Amino acid sequence: MKKNTYFLNTALAVVLGGALLAAVLVRTFAPIIIILPLNIPNMVLLSLVALLADHYFANGAKRCYICIPVLSALTFGLLPFAACFVGVWDALKLGVVGGVVFTVVTVLFTSIQDRLSSGPDCKAAPVLSAFGLYLAAQCFTGILL
């Protein structure tokens, strides 16, 4: 049985935490710069970066599909609130939306990852798959709006 390392959620916390850290510094030292909002396409982008990190550093780890939405909701809700970008109510909304988005993206990416063939092409395939998923998320968000 494959070991469940929860690396994916740790990677998400690091990626989102790093992005928010940069945003706090930009807000402080270059306030005129418009900071990208944490909307659905950007949530998908951050999720895909975490998934790629999980693929290349912890490939084969078993997924816990109860912990993934719970921990990702905590990540997307708590970190922007701690960075003082959103209030309590918006943080709750972000947490719920972020949890759903991350879980969906994880399911999609994992199913693609499971079908990637072995061989020299498989090294770049996750990156290209992630790029395709990001473009799809942008189109989907455009339809929603």
Partner 1 sequence: MKKSVFLPVVTIFAFAALLLGLSFGLQGVGKARAQSEHLRLLQTLLPDSKNFTVEEYTGDDANICSVHKGENGYVIETVTNGYADDIRMLIGVSNKGTVTGLVVMEMNETFGLGAEALTNHRFLAQFLNTSGDTEIGTNVDALSGATVTSKAINRSILSAVAFVTGADVDSGATSWGE
Cβ 48 vs Cβ 138: under 8 Å: no
**Among candidate residues 145, 132, 141, the one with its CA nearest the CA of residue 51:** 132
Instruction: Write down the least CB distance from residue 74 to partner 1, Å.
Output: 6
Tokens linked to 11: 């990677």
Q: How far apart are the first and last CA of the chain?
A: 43
Contact with partner 1 (CB under 8 A) among 56, 59, 65, 67: 67
Stretch that binds partner 1, among 81-89, 93-101, 106-114, 128-136 (CB under 8 A): 81-89
Tell me the residue type at 57. Answer: F
Binding test (CB under 8 A) with partner 1, winner from 43, 48, 79, 108: 79
**Residue window 122-141: x/- pattern of binding to partner 1, with contact defined by CB under 8 A:** ----------------x--x
Sole window of 52-60, 67-75, 97-105, 129-137 interacting with partner 1 (rule: CB under 8 A): 67-75
Q: Rounded distance, CA 43 to CA 8, Å?
A: 15
